[in-house]
Structure 1
């Protein structure tokens, strides 16, 4: 049972890293291209993907507390990367 939880947490961490890289690429695209029409599509696609990942984590049995902690760390991580890299 403990091995299964470790595998779940490993995949959860790898998904968070992947989503962080995607978010940074999205922000870089928005900063460089500066096309207002694409903003809505990009942000909507990112939000829908993120919501689906949260849904899958709930189905996998990961507690809400762990999901909230991961999301909080994700927001701080992406926010700090964006601030230091692009502004």
Structure 2
């Protein structure tokens, strides 16, 4: 049982890192190029993020861990976006 939780946490961390990279790339695209279609990028990102949350709930990860991960993710993306692009 403990090994299964470790595998779930590993994948959860890897998904968080990948979403951070996607978010930073999206912010760079929006800030530097200022395209008209940036809403489509953000909408697709939100849909994908919601799907990952759904999969985490199906995998049995507690809401507390999901909220902690989301908080760390938002703080990380916000601070990295500020320091890298503004």
TM-score by length of 1: 0.97
Superposed CA offset, 1:16-59 (max 9, x none):
000000000000011121112x1110000000000000000000
Unpaired runs of 5+ residues, structure 2, are none
* 2:67 is aligned with 1:68: yes
Unpaired runs of 5+ residues, structure 1, are none
Distance 2:83 2:33 in 1: 19
Q: Over aligned residue pairs, what C-alpha RMSD do you find?
A: 0.5
Alignment match, 2:17: 17
Distance 2:64 2:13 in 1: 15
Runs of 4+ aligned residues of structure 1 deviating over 2 Å after TM superposition are none
Alignment match, 1:30: 30
Structure 2 counterparts to residues 48-63 of structure 1, below 5 A: 48-63=47-62
Distance 2:49 2:76 in 1: 15
TM-score by length of 2: 0.98
Distance 2:31 2:70 in 1: 24
